[in-house]
Structure 1
Amino acid sequence: MAHNQEPLSKTPIIKFKGQDFNYLWNLCLSRGLLFEDEAFPAEISSIGLEMLKGKDLSNLRWKRPKDLSRGKSEPHFILEGVSRFDIKQGCAGDCWFLTALGSLTQSKKHLQKILRNQSFSQQYAGIFRFWFWQCGQWVEVVVDDRLPVLNNEYLFVHPCSNNQEFWPCLLEKAYAKFRGSYLHLHYGYLPDALVDLTGGVVTTMDLHSSSSDLVMMVKTAAQEESLMTCATPVSPTGIATRMENGLVSQHAYTVTGAETIQSRTGWEDLIRLWNPWGNTEWRGRWGDGSPEWQETRDPRKSQLYKNKEDGEFWMPCRDFQDNFFCLYVCNQYPVSLDHGNTSLGTWSEMMFKSRVIPGGTTDDYDIGGPQSDTQYIFSVPEITEGNNVTVSFNIMPQTLKANDGKFPLNFHVFKVDSQFQHFQERLPPTFFSQFRNADKGIVTRSKYNLTKCFTLSPGTYVVVVSAYKEAVEFLLRIFLKMPNTDRNPGSNFNLKALKASLPENASQQSIFYRYAQQGLNMDATGLQNLLNQELLRGIPGDGFSLDEARSIVALMDLQVNGQLDPEEFSRLWSRLLCCQRVYLNTQGNSAVFLSSDLWKAIKSTDFLAGISVSGDLLDLMALRYSDSTGRVSFPSLVCFLIRLEAMAKAFQHLSKDGQGLYLTKMEWMNLVMYS
């Protein structure tokens, strides 16, 4: 079998440039001095001379926030929580980093690891620290709080005008030190920033070729606290240019939300984006101040629409797909975007830290095979839906030349058939053949990261890695999607799945009598068995509960005898067919129905025509019928829609003026307790 190094074990936090925060902090406090970072000095070299071309450097100063805040309020590290609106880009072209950071602010579990607990008031010594991820390890970067100021204006990220909040400025400075200088932040790759801030893996969605439900995909990824960013194509001039529609070419944006909104003529799918410039927004349909927002009667308008110059705006999905070329989604494990399925599923992870030297290349497999490549074995136990293997490389920056634009590694994945599985060290040159190459997959490539997703059949495989020119240190991670037996809804969106089609017409009668008691009427137990066996497929026990079946019987039971006769069942069956269509159409291909889509479900349900609900009631129904992650199961949706119809009709029947109703105590108790 091929050589397979031991997986990487957990390692301690790395001190960047050997600087220990606690030692330096205590030293400054004991001496009554403010920290001055010799490893990233307050000099032009830390900025990069190219960033300062055409500027009067005689007025360049490095100042601390306490000096910059004189005459204003005291500086704060964090004031009233962390938000993307705390960030405002300066003259560096680091939108690729700031948009990743803006997305990070929506994921508290990731953000706290980066920022740590720091302050300008408690034992302040002018020293701060931040964590970044690199090749399987967290690296602690220490900086002083001297910021470059030119003509009393911040050169780079600066606090917004309404606060004195400095965490974004100091975090950007730490990242500049981590990368070498502010100049090294001037243009970069979104996947690199996403990985550095989370240690996650990036999945790329091609907006031009994808047919998935974009709104549902974004909502689901957001619920999993995934980071999401996107970028506009390069302009003809090769520089970022503000276009007539308000977007900026060759520019990165954060994806902050998605909704289906009620418009004057129907329903519109919208994506919400944030621009780190802070004052340049989309001017087209559904942008801030647009007629669409003025005309909509969607009850969620006050929650979703904020007409502010804060860089955040809504735009139609179709315009989003026309103006952006891809969407990057980052999570601790791969997010399956194929066929619209955004479930994280259950993944296992193998990690290997290694070094490869040039001398062979995996492109040589037709003429004898690679000789100096590194080989890693993994096995796919059984087939799972969609992409089931992700291979991800992370490169140590110190091993790359500054101007080398090509990713320094090459790799191939080969399937190992039975006749070669007895090899213990290395597969021989005779093994490598184009017929064993399994390299078809979706690639995400940046300066420091390369990720490729595969759909592989069960069997044994080998990853063969080679270097082009220079020796390269790297981290290899192999993610394997496993058959999911965990019934925790947080790890699988749809364990008990709705069948794609239901029996109709003549089969309805036969189904009723199959589950009816003595061939006459159907009680709640019979209905529960029918619903789970005829409508659903999947793991037993995750379908309609007996209590849900009892509730449905009570809602449809016109005879008030605790059972359904053939006529009552016929009415129920037509509603089940309608609920099936609504559920499948609303969730698209993602196999996820979110509580925020209950409004859309109401509008799409034929038997609820003319029935409307308030936004406040929708919020209550979301609490009542969704789980802790905001997902709504098919049984819950059925109970919600059928109950909504029954209660609306009960009001119409009992109300004498259509405005209210008067009930005796017995009438009230019968209504609320039985149904």
Structure 2
Amino acid sequence: MPMPGVYQKIAEGQQVQRRIGTVENPKKFKGQDFDSIRETCYSRRQLFEDETFPAHVNSIGQKVLPKDQLLSVQWERPKEIQRDARLLVDGASIFDIVQGQIGDCWVLSAVGALTLHQKFLDNVIPKDQEFNYKYAGVFHFRFWQFGEWVDVVIDDRLPMLNGKYLSVQPRSGNEFWPGLLEKAYAKLHGSYQNLHWGYISEALVDFSGGVQVEFDLMRPPQDLRDIVIAAAKTGSLLGCITPGNKRSGNPELKNGLVQGHAYTVTDATKVEYKNGTEDLIRIWNPWGKGEWNGRWSDNSPQWDQVRADIRHKLNVQKNDGEFWISCQDFLQNFSFVSICNHTPAYFDFENPKRAWQELTYFDRWVKGSTAAGCSTSEDLWRNPQFVISVSDSEGMNRGYNVTVALMQSLENQNKYNQEWMGIGFAFCKVASKGVKSLSQQNYSPNQAVDVINTEIQISREITRSFRAPPGTYVVIPFTQSKGLESEFLLRIFLKTKEIDKFQDTTLVPREGNQTYPSDSRLRYQDTKPKPRDEKQIFNPNEIRARNQSNSSLPREENQYQYASDAGLSEFSSSLSMNSQIPKAVLKKYQNDGYEKVFIRYCNKSSELYAEQLQKLLNEVLIKDQTFNASRGDFTLDACRGILMLMDLNANGRLNLQEFERLWKRLSMCKDIFRSIDLNQTGFVDASGLRKAAQLTGLPISNAVINVMVLRYANSLEKLNFADFVCCIIRLETVTKVFKNLSKDGRGVYLSGEEWMQIIMSS
């Protein structure tokens, strides 16, 4: 029986055809047309009441407030609050915004960035509305959603509690654009409650339709300085976050910063200070108050040594939430910084700037056809493929010339219980030999010259940038598992040789706070942040859980090189296994009483067999009171495995020299386990294994993590200390074995006899 036509089209991966909403002709959210609603209500002398987002507790959400307060919420129109209500008074300013009771600092920090750049502001707030023109209680705002501009219509009833704004409040009593914009964004997300905690990276994209990249300030890229300078020059939106999580809330710290809070980066400059210069960043708090009180804050003594005219321009001493901070303090006190613009011009370090070409593809993963997952190399290459040609663009060595952004369908968040589906993509350089033309629809793994893989990310969108030499490339989007269906949007930005003639960096004038030239220089490479308390580090499993790799998903590794945390990559050789625990790591664990321990447990021949080793480990390490190692003893089989890995003479026992090597590794494992298991649970999970591998300098990947968890963890996917030791020592050993047996660092050839000996002894 032949396959039905509909199924056959799906199986052939028919590309989704769709119309993209533009700023001029946006898609009507929930089918509501602003002009027709206003005309109808105005002609009938009625005020619009939005049935799709009613003045009801459901529009607020059941978890934002206690039930008694929720029932006390009143909905009032701006003209009921202020007789002379206005949408805008002298334009939109960052100082119009004061955050209310809703925990949506991530939204308001993005809105704050929006007010600094007219090109973004005009797209979001249409100019065809005001309280003094055909007022009918209806307003509208535009947001970018999955490749389309969407027009969201609202009525102007705002939630009030005991006479105070529940949502964002205007600093000026009669200016209401902040509250109405926030309401439209809440409607887009389903309720105000859904704005309570979120991701500034997503808000920046929603307000601009741009491409954004987020940098972990614990591991900043070497060229972050150049990126920030380029971002300032090109009028990008910038936001940043302090360490924290949902559980800890938003307490104000002694230094004036708020924990787990989103801020707007409003400017950057360099000032002459003492006998040199100081790089400064200006930041704004969406609370509208509460500022950094350290170096370069409003009343700090550092300003006394700055030239008077510069001090007058920069040091505006108001408790308005905006403050200056040195770059060094910024790196030490903030976790992430996000940069967003229409194109990734912030990766162009040249002058003049080059134009970027954008390629946009709407497609889908189809079960039984293109939803092939990524378990094996063959599966990965059965996913949709997109071919691009990178020319010899000028200045490639001075910046990134390709940026790829993959976004999954926004419907997936509700489909997967407020979480996102795991997605990723491979960026593959393919050989031109044997290729008929760029119209070839599908490439195979054997045509790949080099591959960079993003790994799986539980995130709405993944963005990576590359320094790609000229050639033909294939972008392969994939899902975490085979058979997962979804639409996706793929955007590819290519740097060209053409000069960008339409660059617009117009800043919105800000009353009482002049904008200092944004082309001033930042110097990040000389600033080294001090180590932070592990407990205060921004918890990715709380706020940034959507951007974390899923360590339980296997994938073949041999040909993949993974991108860095910052999302920046360069093509080189494939993932190298020529690594082992650095000598510097092990050096500090020398001569720590190992001889006395060895003598106490060895036999008369001064050797340790597996039985003696088991007794030693359980009596010395497991009973160590400095950390929790009591969740499980070393079994005899585990000790046999450790002994075989440390037995240099292949005689089934350890002498003092061999035990010294083992003792160093045991001490190292103890310190690492203690540093990861801060709560003294006695266990580490997959993320702890990854951190341990990073601390030891060993290569690791999702597939290897997955195998380690399957092999050593319990049913809850957690490892006790004994399992952890076996796992780390084996990881180092197999890495070293590969290095010794491989001739080219890419693979190993073994005879059947050699294979059997290695496997049976491991």
TM-score range, shorter chain: 0.5 to 0.7
Counterpart of 1:113 in structure 2 is 123
Is 1:158 the counterpart of 2:169? The answer is yes
* Distance 1:288-1:445 versus aligned 2 partners, 3 A rule: farther
Counterpart of 2:243 in structure 1 is 233
Is 1:454 the counterpart of 2:475? The answer is no
User: Aligned to 1:35, which of 48, 58, 62?
Assistant: 48
User: Aligned to 1:354, which of 353, 359, 363?
Assistant: 363
C-alpha contact (below 8 Å) 1:191/1:446 kept by paired residues:
no
Q: Distance in 1 between matches of 2:504 and 2:63?
A: 48
Is 1:297 the counterpart of 2:310? The answer is no
Counterparts of residues 562-601 of structure 1 (less than 5 Å): none
User: Aligned to 2:489, which of 456, 471, 475?
Assistant: 475
C-alpha contact (below 8 Å) 1:288/1:306 kept by paired residues:
yes
C-alpha contact (below 8 Å) 2:57/2:70 kept by paired residues:
no
C-alpha contact (below 8 Å) 1:65/1:145 kept by paired residues:
yes
* Distance 1:445-1:122 versus aligned 2 partners, 3 A rule: farther
CA RMSD of aligned residues (A): 3.2
C-alpha contact (below 8 Å) 2:241/2:336 kept by paired residues:
yes
Q: Distance in 1 between matches of 2:502 and 2:138?
A: 43
C-alpha contact (below 8 Å) 2:422/2:456 kept by paired residues:
no
Q: Distance in 2 between matches of 1:279 and 1:24?
A: 38
* Distance 1:140-1:226 versus aligned 2 partners, 3 A rule: same
Counterpart of 1:122 in structure 2 is 133
Is 1:201 the counterpart of 2:216? The answer is no
Counterpart of 2:429 in structure 1 is 415
* Distance 1:466-1:211 versus aligned 2 partners, 3 A rule: closer
Structure 1 residue 57: deviation in Å?
3.1
Structure 1 residue 456: deviation in Å?
1.9
Is 1:255 the counterpart of 2:255? The answer is no
Is 1:63 the counterpart of 2:73? The answer is no
Counterpart of 1:53 in structure 2 is 66
Counterparts of residues 206-605 of structure 1 (less than 5 Å): 206-207=216-217, 208-212=219-223, 214=225, 218-234=228-244, 237-264=247-274, 266-337=276-347, 345-358=354-367, 360-366=371-377, 368-370=378-380, 373-382=383-392, 384-385=396-397, 386-401=399-414, 403-419=417-433, 421-422=435-436, 426-427=441-442, 431-432=444-445, 436-439=449-452, 447-468=459-480, 470-484=484-498, 486=499
Ranges in structure 2 where 5+ consecutive residues have no aligned partner: 1-11, 506-516, 524-762
* Distance 1:596-1:346 versus aligned 2 partners, 3 A rule: closer
Ranges in structure 1 where 5+ consecutive residues have no aligned partner: 493-593, 601-675
CA distances 1:49-108 after superposition (whole Å, capped 9, x unpaired): 0112254234211110111125xxx11100112101101111122111111110110110
Matched position secondary structure for 1:364: coil
C-alpha contact (below 8 Å) 2:402/2:465 kept by paired residues:
yes
Amino acid at match of 2:428: F
Deviates more, 1:45-54 or 1:316-325: 45-54
Structure 1 residue 227: deviation in Å?
0.5
Q: Distance in 2 between matches of 1:379 and 1:205?
A: 28
CA distances 1:129-168 after superposition (whole Å, capped 9, x unpaired): 00001122110000000001111111110111x4311001
Per the normalisation by structure 1, the TM-score is: 0.66
Structure 1 residue 237: deviation in Å?
4.7
Q: Distance in 2 between matches of 1:329 and 1:4?
A: 34
Counterpart of 2:194 in structure 1 is 184
CA distances 1:437-483 after superposition (whole Å, capped 9, x unpaired): 52167x99784221111222222222222334642222111111223
* Distance 1:388-1:123 versus aligned 2 partners, 3 A rule: same
* Distance 1:342-1:288 versus aligned 2 partners, 3 A rule: farther
Identity, % of aligned positions: 40
* Distance 1:177-1:596 versus aligned 2 partners, 3 A rule: closer
* Distance 1:5-1:387 versus aligned 2 partners, 3 A rule: farther
Q: Distance in 2 between matches of 1:285 and 1:399?
A: 45
Question: How many pairs does the alignment contain?
Answer: 487
Q: Distance in 1 between matches of 2:107 and 2:288?
A: 15
CA distances 1:370-392 after superposition (whole Å, capped 9, x unpaired): 47622211111225233221111
Q: Distance in 2 between matches of 1:440 and 1:341?
A: 28
Per the normalisation by structure 2, the TM-score is: 0.59
